[in-house]
C-alpha cells in the first residue's frame, strides 16, 4: 500500500469511530469492562474519541506524514510491539506508527485490553484487504526485526535483556506533573482534575504530582477536585482510596483529603491510586531545575502558559495527545523510518 492509501484507510477508520454507531464495537467494550473493571465504558469511549479526533483525521495524518521521509520502504521490517494495558487503547499510536511507516506490526496484546484492536484490524481488512498483511497478533512475540516495548520499570529490565540486541524502543514508568502558582482560577483547577482523574489516574500522562509554592493554599484545589467525587463510586478506586487513607492514619502520616483523593507531600513523581503527591518550591525560577532532575520520570508538564520556560500543556489537555506527542519524547516515526 502507498502512503496515500494508508492515510485514506486510517481516515476512514476515524470517520467510522466518530459516528459512534458500531453496535458490535460497543459489545466488545462491554466485554472489555467485564474482563477489566478499570476499563469502564466511559473511559473506553473517551479513549476511542481521543484517537478518532486527534489521530485519525485525514488532515492530521497528512501533516504528520509530511514530517518524514522513507515512508515507502523497499524492505518493510517486522516490528514487534509489546503493548501496555494501563489505559484503554494505549498502544494504538505505536500500531498506527508502524503502519504509516510501511512496516509490519507483530503485536503482543495486553490481556487487560485484548478485544478492541483485533476488531479494528478486521474492519480495516474488510475495507482494504491489502492491510491484512500489516497486522499480526501473536501469543508469543517472535519473528521480528525491531521492537517497541512498553511496561513497568521492573519489566523494562527483562525487555532490555531479551530485546537488547535488536533495534528497540523500551519505555518505563512515567507520569505527568503540574506546576501551580496559587493564582489559578476555579476553571483551571477544575480542568486539572481531568488530568488527575481521567482513566483513574492510571495513564503515564496523568498528573500524579503537583509543584506548589511555599504556603500554598490547598483549599481551592481540594474544592475543585471534589467536583470529581463520583469517582469513588467505582469499587476498585474506592478500595484503593480507603486502604491508603487507613494506612496514612495508622502510620500517622500527614495528608490532606477531600473525600475522593488524598494529597501527601512526597518528592516522588509517581503516586498511588487515589493519591496526588505535592512538593513545594521557593521560587518559580527553581522549578525548571527540579523538573530536570526528574526528567526521566516525567511524561508531560501541565501549567498555565508562560509560567515556566519549558514546554507545557494547558490544564485538562494531558490525555489528548496529538500525533507528534511521542511517549518519553522519543520520535517513534523517526526510529521506524530509519530501520530500512
Q: What does pTM read for this prediction?
A: 0.94
Return mean pLDDT, the chain. 97
Taking only the tens place, the pLDDT of each residue in 135-183 is 999 999 999 999 999 988 888 888 999 899 999 999 999 999 999 999 9
CA dist 176 and 198 (Å) reads 12
Taking only the tens place, the pLDDT of each residue in 55-83 is 999 999 999 999 999 999 999 999 999 99
Question: What is the pLDDT, as a whole number, of residue 156?
Answer: 86
Q: Residues 36, 113: contact at Cβ < 8 Å?
A: yes
Q: Residues 205, 319: contact at Cβ < 8 Å?
A: yes
Average pLDDT over residues 287-301: 97
Q: Residues 244, 230: contact at Cβ < 8 Å?
A: no
Domain ranges of the chain: 3-172, 175-303
**Least reliable range by pLDDT among 102-106, 129-133, 154-158, 191-195:** 154-158
Residue 292 reports pLDDT greater than 90 = yes
**Least reliable range by pLDDT among 148-157, 197-206, 310-319:** 148-157
Residue 340 reports pLDDT greater than 80 = no
Residue 243 reports pLDDT greater than 80 = yes
CA atoms within 13 A on the CB side of 47: 26
- CA angle centred on 22, ends 65 and 230, rounded to 5°: 95
Question: What is the pLDDT, as a whole number, of residue 105?
Answer: 98
Q: Give, in words, the CATH class of 3-172.
A: alpha beta
The secondary structure element, H or E, covering residue 213 is: strand 207-213
Query: C-alpha grid cell for residue 23?
Result: 453496535
Closest CA to 101 of 60, 53, 64, 56: 64
Question: What is the pLDDT, as a whole number, of residue 321?
Answer: 96
Q: Do 175-303 and 3-172 fall under one CATH topology?
A: no
Average pLDDT over residues 256-275: 97
Q: Give, in words, the CATH class of 175-303.
A: alpha beta
The SS3 call for residue 146 is strand
Amino acid at each position: 500500500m502507498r502512503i496515500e492509501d494508508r492515510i485514506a484507510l486510517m481516515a476512514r477508520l476515524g470517520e467510522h469511530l466518530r459516528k459512534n454507531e458500531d453496535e458490535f464495537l460497543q459489545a466488545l467494550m462491554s466485554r472489555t469492562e467485564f474482563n477489566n473493571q478499570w476499563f469502564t465504558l466511559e473511559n473506553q469511549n473517551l479513549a476511542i474519541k481521543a484517537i478518532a479526533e486527534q489521530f485519525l483525521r485525514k488532515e492530521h495524518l497528512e501533516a504528520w506524514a509530511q514530517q518524514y521521509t522513507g515512508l515507502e520502504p523497499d524492505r518493510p521490517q517486522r516490528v514487534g510491539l509489546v503493548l501496555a494495558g494501563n489505559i484503554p487503547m494505549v498502544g494504538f499510536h505505536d500500531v498506527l506508527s508502524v503502519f504509516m511507516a510501511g512496516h509490519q506490526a507483530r503485536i503482543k496484546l495486553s490481556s487487560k485490553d485484548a478485544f478492541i484492536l483485533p476488531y479494528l484490524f478486521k474492519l480495516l481488512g474488510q475495507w482494504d484487504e491489502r492491510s491484512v498483511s500489516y497486522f499480526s497478533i501473536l501469543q508469543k512475540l517472535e519473528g521480528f526485526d525491531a521492537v517497541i516495548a512498553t511496561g513497568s520499570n521492573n519489566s523494562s529490565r527483562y525487555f532490555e535483556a531479551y530485546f537488547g540486541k535488536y533495534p528497540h524502543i523500551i519505555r518505563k514508568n512515567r507520569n505527568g506533573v503540574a506546576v501551580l502558582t496559587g493564582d489559578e482560577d476555579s476553571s483551571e483547577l477544575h480542568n486539572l482534575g481531568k488530568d488527575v482523574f481521567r482513566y483513574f489516574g492510571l495513564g503515564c500522562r496523568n498528573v500524579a504530582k503537583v509543584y506548589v509554592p511555599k504556603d500554598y493554599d490547598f483549599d481551592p484545589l481540594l474544592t475543585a477536585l471534589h467536583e470529581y467525587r463520583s469517582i469513588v463510586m467505582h469499587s476498585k478506586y474506592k478500595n484503593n482510596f480507603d486502604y491508603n487513607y487507613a494506612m496514612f492514619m495508622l502510620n500517622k502520616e500527614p495528608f490532606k483529603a477531600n473525600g475522593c483523593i488524598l494529597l501527601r507531600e512526597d518528592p516522588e513523581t509517581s503516586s498511588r491510586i487515589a493519591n496526588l503527591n505535592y512538593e513545594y518550591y521557593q521560587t518559580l525560577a527553581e522549578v525548571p531545575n527540579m523538573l530536570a532532575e526528574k526528567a526521566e520520570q516525567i511524561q508531560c508538564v501541565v501549567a498555565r502558559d508562560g509560567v515556566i520556560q519549558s514546554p507545557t500543556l494547558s490544564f485538562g489537555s494531558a490525555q489528548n495527545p496529538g500525533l507528534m506527542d511521542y511517549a518519553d519524547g522519543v520520535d517513534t516515526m523517526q526510529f521506524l523510518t530509519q530501520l530500512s
